[in-house]
Structure 1
Amino acid sequence: MSSKGATTTARWGPFKSLLVLAPLLIGAPTFTVYQHYALPNPITELINPQTNLPQLSEAQILSYSKLLSEDIGYRTVGTIEHALADEWLTKKAHEIKNECEEIVNRSKENGKERKLECEVWRQQGSGSHRFDMMGKRLYKTYVDLTNIIIRVSNGTPEGKEHAVLVNAHLDSTLPSPGAADDALSVAVMLECIRVLTNTPTWEPVHSIIFLFNHAEESLQDASQLFSTQHPIRDSVRAFINLEAAGTVGPELLFQATSEQMIEAYSRVPRPFGTVVANEVFSSGVLLSDTDFRQFELYLNVTGLDMAVVGNSYMYHTRKDLVENIQPGVAQHMADNVHALLLYLSSSESPLPALDFGYTRPSTVFFSHLGYFFKYSYSTARILYSIFLVASLVLVAFTWQNPAPALKSSGRRGGWIKENLKATGAAGVTFIGALIGVNLVAAVMQYALGRNMSWYAVELSALALYGPAALAGAFSTQLLVARLPERTMFSGLLLSLAFSTVFLQFIGIGSAAIFFLSAAPIFVSILLDSLSTGGKGPMSLWAYALGQISPLLTGTQVICTVFDVFVPLTGRTGREAPAEHIIASLVSITGSYTLPLVLPFSHRYGPSVLKRFVVILSAITLVMVAVFAAREPFDELHQKRLFVLSSENVTTGERHLHIGAADGAPGLEALVEGITAEFGAVGSSAVQEKMDDWNGDWDILYPFSAFMSPYKVELPPVKDYASPYVVGGSMPFVIEAINDVIDEGKQTRSLTLRVRHPGVIWTVIAFDAHVLWWTLDDSPPDEYARHHIKEGSFYGVDTWTIDLVIRIPSPGIVASTLDSDKVPSTKERAQLKVNFMGVQETAMWPGKSHRTPDTSSSGGHSQTSSDLYVAELQKKREDAALPYGPAMQLFEKLDGWLEERTGGKVDGMLVGSVGGIVVI
């Protein structure tokens, strides 16, 4: 039977063999994609009709999210909407406290007092912190920012001694209403409080601190405020941070910093996270950050960072709306968070043990098709080492001498030499695949100018670059000596086994994914050798058995990688090699997912292999032609256009600054159209040099480095008198007070005061050698550029910093003066300050005065009366000022963009005020 099976297999040609394997090659990825994106059914009722107990309701969660993101609106730090969200949640917190007290009183009446207490704080404070990012030193200062905190405990001092903190942020960023980011997480927390406090049998052994922080998008100010100033901060032993960078799919665990918290996560009903994501995020490859940083830095505690990441095309855009949040997303997040809180507040909780600090995890963990696996690094090293030894033994005893007549190919040492050749062939295959896709990427970008054509569909890049990867891989095998199919199988096994052990021994837990691929190949070689005696070609069922795990695991890796990286290319800068990054990711993930392509390429000989290369090359050409005709963007996958209408209060000039954060073609034509339509007569767009001294984009610094922006002169506005100039109704003024020059020490001491009525997100930048200031204890010990950004509560219009600077030498200052004379000490002590900020009333569409549609909640249950929503809207309108020239321009520009691009562009339209002053 074995001999007959081998003969039958040998008679089948490559295409028939592929046809036989097709159900696996198609079915396994299809099944995996379904499982990968599976979400629970949304629950609408607040009470379970069978148990009469409270249950987590997605409808309730989305109604909260809608109220925050659409009824209140764009909650940018410093705006009236920001203040309204603070007011709403403060009222909501006190309602929860009152309800909690009623629950306890009712329990007393029933004869069994429930151990439950809800405490509320509205923290308001000021501070500053250093916030390094993208290799830049940056400082933040804030005034009167707020946090709303609810602590749920059993009411005893012992129950409050150890707490888990769960955090989400109320604010949204400049161009977005933030339904998912992060109103969804806020709503999940509120719903968890409702269910926990209304569950009669729940009494927390350890307390839960719900932190609704109110300034994450302004670079994590409010979480820093809590972590450094709130009186209960020292009781926090661990934290859970909830975020969103997308609107679909399950919530991903992408940071876990202790074994205890990984153990806690293993208790959730729908785990979705891997050590791979943990290590990739920790490596800094992704230029993203959350409040997680502040809790680690200032509280020195362990935590979990979880976020919705699917469909992040809408992240930080005006389409971050409830209608675009996929059904089941909120339910998935809520179910997992609720399970974590139940465990961490229980008697089984590890919180007391974390009172003495924590150590970084040495744990391999991953979710696989809905199951969660975890084991220690020490277990992994032992397991993988045993597996490597077993693989060596298997290969040694199953290897058949391909040329027994040749002494050099004898069993003694022959198997080692031949398998080393196979291992080398595997490495060459990988390199060939990389070369193949990057050659096509170069054609798409440089020859055809059609880069990012795959952008609108995450996995479409597989269609463009998959055939090229296979063609490149197969081409390399034409250049190496032909090796037996079985030797290629065993060489591949040894390559994966060695990689697994090596990576694990250098502390990389992601080695697990190589083990998951190698293990079934080991089994397939063993079973095939037992059934065929190790002679003839490998059985097709050996291919099926060896390929199934890589297909399942690799498909999950592909989905996660492309969900994150494809939309990310739309905001990584025009200079980023997006085409080559995505092409390389296709090659890398494809090589992992289809490892048995390598032995298959040696199954039929060079002539068949050449045909494969020709066919795949032809398919590649067809794919290039198809993708070259595609547009990168559509209405749901938009190009991000950043537009600032700037008003220089020191020169009176007005400009339009236009930039994009992607390298897709078409920006120049768009800029030309905007210039012709809205620019001054005879003006032309000038490309700006983007560096630390370009103050035009300082409100986005250092993210501004991603753009290569254009500057367009705007026509004068008839009868417009700027309120922001000195002498205007709202002057934007930078001045020095408490100013003292010490000529002996060659220092200047001063308080720099920034007054900015009607302007938010102010930034100042200057060059100086700072010896001391009130920002931190370690300013750069050199003459350097300093950027200081502010984020404060609505209505706050003044902030200050105290500093002492070294007066620069005459040579440094003389180079900046148009004079041959030696500058005096007073002249050398002067500070040239770039300043700018955002007009609080000039952000489109956030300040468009459009009344939200409050007649329907989109099918979700209401969380406030129509009267309250109307009250919110009235407060918005009462606080709004008449349209200025910036908003008049934006209304026209937004309509023009919609008509010109068919809705394929999302514009961040912001009015800025700034200038340069010497003090």
Structure 2
Amino acid sequence: MWLLKRGENTSSLPVMEDSSSDRDVETELGVRHWLLILMHIVSLVVGTTFLNARLPEAQPASTDNNRFSELRARRLVFEMSNFGPKPAGSEACELYTKGYILNEIGIIKVAATAKIEISLQNPSGCFDIPRFDTDSFTVCYKNVSNVAVRLSRNDTKEQRFALLLNCHYDSWPVSSGGSDDLASCAIMLELLRLLSQKMNVLKHDVIFLFNGAEESSLQGAHGFITQHPWRHLIRAFINLEASGSGGRELLFQAGPANQWLLNSYLESATHPHCSIIAQEVFQSGLFPGETDFRVFRDYGRIPGLDLAFVQNGYWWHTEFDEGKRIAIGSIQRAGDNVYATVLHLLQSPNLSNPAGNPDQKYVFFDFLGLFVVVYSDTIGNALNAIFAITSLVKAGKHIRNESGECRAAVTNYAIVFVTMSVLTLASTQLTLLIWGAMPWYSIHAVAVVIYAMPVVWAGLGSMAFLAAKIEPVKREDHARAIETVHRTMVAVIVCFLTLKGVSSSFIFTLMLIPLAGDVIHFKNEWVVVLTHIVLHTPSYGMAIYLSSMIQSIIIPIMGRTGTNPEVLVAVMTNFSTYIIVFSLLPLVTITALKRTQAETTLWNFFGMISGILLTVSAVLAVLHFLHKSPYSYTDEYPMPRRVQVFHVNRVIDNRNQTIQDSALYVIAQDYRGAEDIPFVDRNYSKVECLDNGPYCEIPLYFPTRHRIQERHIRYKTVGETLALPDTKVTLVHKLEDEKKIVYDFVVKGSNQVSVYVVPQKGWRIANCTLSAPRKELDERPLFLFFTCSGEKCSEFWFQITLVQPGEPTGDEDSQLLLGVASHYLYGKYMQSHTIRRLLAEITKRRQDDPAWAIAASAWNVDMIYRYY
């Protein structure tokens, strides 16, 4: 776009308010113009916030079963949630919840007009999980539970292709699993009820998998897709998950390939909510967590859709994930979407012959939650190229005609960018210094106040400062040059992302839409402002919408990541801020200014920046006085601190001594660290590694050592020794060669055992009978994760082969360090008196003290470390 078309009469040019020249207010933007721009931006913020939280009305059951009913599904969630925590293998999981689901299926079967087959499965197996949110590790399981239901027409006996729907009814050891994932199972039961009475729509079969071992590393899905006889019929799947509690469910993964599957959702979903950005961010590993989608994709080689509740992530994997906290309308929204998508897929010929559909990658996103935009990656690349090349060609012409002005614009643009970036980083450091980490955790608006507003002030203020240095008659030319520089920068970003194959580049392409303004002849300032508003609304709206959505998802996740969150939250909060501020720089340049050229010295500039930083400091000081803790607790909406508490019986045999005691380990999940936890006092010590291994004798449940720094862990010895069944490690056989050693081990422990295999100096793990062969010999340890459901099944045999690729180290008596931790996740051995007393104190004190707003994953562990 461009601003004011210059005429021959120089009196129409913008001038600054200075005694040396006369000012014509009709040629400059004033307060009224900026108020209109501000009102437009505020309306977009309010509108996108509303749309991001909007949910449909929960529907009651209809007499003819022709619509999805949240009220009926919600009853199922409440009743299953009331069984309490239900980790795989527990009585709550294997008896109560599984029995409830089977009973509900039986009721549905009685009234069904279609054929319903029920298959109970208890598979065993092993598989590898590559590095993602955790380090890579090997999972082995025995006798995990699956309930599979096949819905088909009762007027045919032929084998037909099927669509798979998946949920899991197990939960994190301390969570009732209301949203993760009982809400999804209730949705599937309601869909089974509806579809079982509509035999005419069943052109393909539907398989409903209620799997009982997802939280223990995706084992139920693996057992089904690699061993169940129905697996060969499946041509596509829909996985229903949760990394939050309620709200709008998000389609955040689709594929691999098979665009017809994604199109079915985009064409049929009643309330679509999806984005290629979510898919690319999740697959990058930034978003912690993993779902059954990976197993179906990698081991079943079938395409699918991954939908998850992602809002209210404060309660995920905590005691607060209960049915009562799922926002009304959430289940209705997800149910409507999945039901419509399933009906569409059942009529699709692609389900019978997915390979017959030409495939390509697509760009997709919903615009403000109002409608979905979808186009092929080829079209996306073409659009990117058209907009980017047009911008660069126009920039080239402008630079040739006004090279001096463009050079000055590049300098000023760079100054504004550096100023905003430095202020962003300075604000994060001031936050850590004055308030501490995460002041925005329970009040998201705090991030806007301490990060976005100062950046807006710095960006617009520095541009106004630089514009005051320009002669009034040259400001319009400079504004044109600033806009050219901005478009060039955006075009370069678009080109770079397109070449890298990043489909999320569409958000930057939207910023080039104002190129259309070049063909419009502007008459006055109001036309300039209105044209700016109209042409920038798509990029403004999308940027604000994404920022609001990402902030609502990411901020709760910062409660479970140990890295410094301030820079990430500042960048995330300022994503839309940068887009808006840089687009406004040309308008700032032609705004009526009160600053004179005499007030544009370097000291004046530093004074302005210092004033911003002092204001940020003052705001943080006031916040520290009024809002002392980032956490908060109310029964309706708790926003707790996450910690892990392990009461551990330790037997550590190292080279110099044997340690046998009982200790309480406390692991902080967020950046504030363990010493910020109110019950961690001077009796707790830092962890000191006794042996040569990365796991440092910490009783890790998953291999997340890379996320846990020393500052996150404290422990103390306690007087209560746990009366646990002995964990046993038996070296059955050891075969030694000159540069090769083969160990045969048998490990016996609880129903959940973590094994840490650490080769010592000079030695490498060449093979493990439970894992895929290693392609390269390196110093990486091996993490084994054993799960067993049932009685007397927790005995695992494995063989480890070490090789010594270099010269002998001289220490030939201890080539392997083996650690074994038996985790007691349920039953009478789960929590000691020490843990129960601590949990009771947390429950009591969090009512009045936000610092005690704590969600603790707490259980007993029996751990052995020994050299072999």
Same fold (TM over 0.5): yes
Asked whether 1:351 is paired with 2:351, we answer yes
CA distance, structure 2, for counterparts of residue 173 and residue 735 of structure 1: 30
Structure-2 change in CA distance of 1:424 and 1:277 (3 Å)? farther
Matched AA of 1:227: I
Shift of 1:324: 1.4
Shift of the alpha carbon at 1:370? 1.6
Given that residues 169 and 182 in structure 2 are in contact (C-alpha distance below 8 angstroms), is that contact kept between their aligned partners in structure 1?
yes
Cα distance, 1:517 vs. partner? 2.8
**What is the Cα deviation at residue 905 of structure 1?**
1.6
Matching residue's letter, 1:597: L
Report the more deviating stretch, 173-182 or 624-633. 624-633
Q: Where does 1:56-455 land on structure 2 (aligned, <5 Å)?
A: 56-70=68-82, 72-85=83-96, 87-89=98-100, 91-92=102-103, 94-95=105-106, 98-99=109-110, 103-104=112-113, 116-133=114-131, 134=133, 136-154=135-153, 160-199=159-198, 202-257=200-255, 258=257, 259-266=259-266, 267-346=268-347, 348-355=348-355, 361-388=361-388, 413-415=400-402, 418=405, 422=409, 425-426=412-413, 428-445=415-432, 447-455=433-441
- The one-letter amino acid paired with 1:581 is L
- For the 8 Å contact 1:162–1:355, the answer to whether it is kept is no
User: Which residue of structure 2 lines up, in the alignment, with residue 517 of structure 1?
Assistant: 511
Letter of the 1:161 counterpart: R
| Separation (CA, whole Å) in 1 of partners of 2:216 and 2:580 | 40
Structure 1 residue 881: deviation in Å? 7.0
Tell me, what secondary structure is at the counterpart of 1:436? helix
Partner of residue 46, structure 1: 61
Q: Is the 8 A contact 1:86 1:214 kept in 2?
A: no
1:675-711 residue CA offsets vs partner (Å, 9 max, x unmatched): 47xxxxxx44334559723232222432673353444
Instruction: Tell me what 1:37 maps to.
Output: 53
- In 2, are the aligned partners of 1:89 and 1:148 still within 8 Å (CA)? no
Say yes or no: does 1:549 pair with 2:561: no
Q: Deviations over 1:806-840 (max 9, x none)?
A: 4779997864xxxxxxx6xxx568x5431112224
1:504 aligns with 2:498: yes
Shift of 1:337: 0.6
How far did 1:342 drift? 0.5
Select between 86-95 and 188-197 the one with higher mean Cα deviation: 86-95
Tell me by how many angstroms 1:170 deviates. 1.2
* Cα RMSD (Å): 3.6
User: Does 2:38 correspond to 1:25?
Assistant: no
In 1: Cα distance, 2:538 partner to 2:103 partner:
49
Q: Which amino acid aligns with 2:719?
A: P
Change in 2 beyond 3 A, CA 1:766/1:395: closer
Matched residue SS, 2:45: helix
1:771-850 residue pairs with structure 2 within 5 A? 771-779=766-774, 781=777, 784-806=780-802, 815=811, 832-841=817-826
Change (3 A) 1:425 1:550: farther
Decide whether aligned partners of structure 1 residues 281 and 186 sit closer, same or farther in structure 2, where only a CA change above 3 A counts.
same
* Structure 2 CA distance for aligned equivalents of residues 501 and 79 of structure 1: 54
2:17 aligned residue: none
Question: 265-274 or 448-457: which moved more?
Answer: 448-457
Q: Provide the C-alpha distance between the structure 1 equivalents of 2:157 and 2:263, rounded to a whole number of angstroms.
A: 24
Query: Matched residues in 1 for 2:800 and 2:611: separation?
Result: 71
Residue equivalent to 1:871 = none
Residue in 1 that maps onto 2:665:
657
- Which residue is equivalent to 2:863? 914
| TM-score, length-scaled by structure 2 | 0.85
| Contact kept in structure 2, 1:53 and 1:199, CA below 8 Å | no
Letter in 2 for 1:564: I
Match of 1:766 among 751, 757, 772: 757
In the TM superposition, what is the alpha-carbon distance from 1:653 to its structure 2 partner?
1.0
CA–CA distance in structure 1, aligned partners of residues 831 and 48 of structure 2: 52
Displacement, 1:189?
0.9
Alignment check: 8 A CA contact 2:105 2:189 kept: no
Question: What is the aligned partner in structure 2 of residue 863 from structure 1?
Answer: none
Residue 699 of structure 2 aligns to a residue in which SS? helix
Asked if 1:668 is matched to 2:675, the reply is yes
Instruction: Work out the CA distance in 2 between the residues paired with 1:390 and 1:653.
Output: 71
Q: Distance in 1 between matches of 2:386 and 2:840?
A: 69
Q: 1:93 to 1:209 in 2, by over 3 A?
A: farther
**Is 165-174 or 627-636 further displaced after alignment?**
627-636
CA distance, structure 2, for counterparts of residue 772 and residue 357 of structure 1: 41
Letter in 2 for 1:489: E
Distance 2:410 2:270 in 1: 41
Tell me the alpha carbon deviations over residues 505-531 of structure 1, each in whole angstroms, 9 at most, x when there is no partner. Answer: 442221221222321x2344433x354
Structure 2, unmatched stretches of 5+, are 15-23, 653-658
Cα distance in 1, alignment partners of residues 664 and 734 from structure 2: 39
The yes-or-no answer on 1:620 pairing with 2:621 is no
Local SS of the residue matching 1:145: coil
Residue deviations 1:704-743 (CA, integer Å, cap 9, x gap): 73353444434424xx7x543xxxxx33222234x36366
Q: Is the contact made by 2:146 and 2:209 (CA closer than 8 Å) also made in structure 1?
A: yes
Is residue 487 from structure 1 mapped to residue 481 from structure 2 by the alignment? Answer: yes
| 1:71-110 CA-partner distances (Å, limit 9, x unpaired) | x1101123222212553255236516732xx533xxxxxx
Rounded to whole Å, the distance in 1 between the matches of 2:70 and 2:356 is 38
Counterpart AA for 2:782: H
Q: Distance in 2 between matches of 1:82 and 1:323?
A: 20
Task: Answer yes or no: is the 8 Å Cα contact 1:29–1:551 preserved in 2.
Answer: no
**1:547–1:595 CA contact under 8 A, matched in 2:** no
Question: What amino acid is the match of 2:769?
Answer: T
Deviation sequence 1:563-589 (CA, Å, 0-9, x none): 12211211111xx12112212223333
Bigger CA drift: 190-199 or 9-18? 9-18
Most deviating of 320-329 and 584-593: 584-593
Of residues 710, 713, 717, the one that matches 2:716 is: 713
TM superposition shift of 1:284: 2.2
TM-superposed CA distance for 1:47, in Å, is 1.2
SS in 1 for 2:122: strand
- Which residue identity is paired with 2:439? S
Counterpart of 1:600?
587
Residue matched to 1:469: 455
- CA offsets 1:354-395 (integer angstroms, 9 cap, x no match): 257985624344444320111112222333434446556877
Counterpart-to-counterpart distance in 2, 1:330 and 1:196: 17
Match of 2:550 in 1: 561
Q: Deviations over 1:759-811 (max 9, x none)?
A: 33211223345454431340464565222111221434423233153477999
SS in 2 for 1:634: coil
Q: Structure 1 residues 539, 618: closer, same or farther in 2, change over 3 A?
A: farther
TM superposition shift of 1:350:
2.0
Q: CA deviation at 1:892?
A: 4.5
- Which of the numbers 642, 645, 648 marks the counterpart of 2:647? 645
| Alignment partner, residue 847 of structure 1 | none
Relative to structure 1, the CA distance from residue 323 to residue 17 in structure 2 (aligned partners, 3 Å threshold; closer, same or farther) is: same
For residues 617 and 143 of structure 1, the distance between their equivalents in structure 2, rounded to whole angstroms, comes to 59
**1:861-902 superposed Cα distances (whole Å, 9 cap, x missing partner):** xxxxxxxxxxxxxxxxxx757975345444544346536845
Q: 1:87 to 1:246 in 2, by over 3 A?
A: closer
Q: What is the deviation of 1:419?
A: 5.1
**1:898 equivalent in structure 2:** 846
How much does 1:246 deviate? 1.4
Deviation at 1:294, TM superposition (A): 0.8
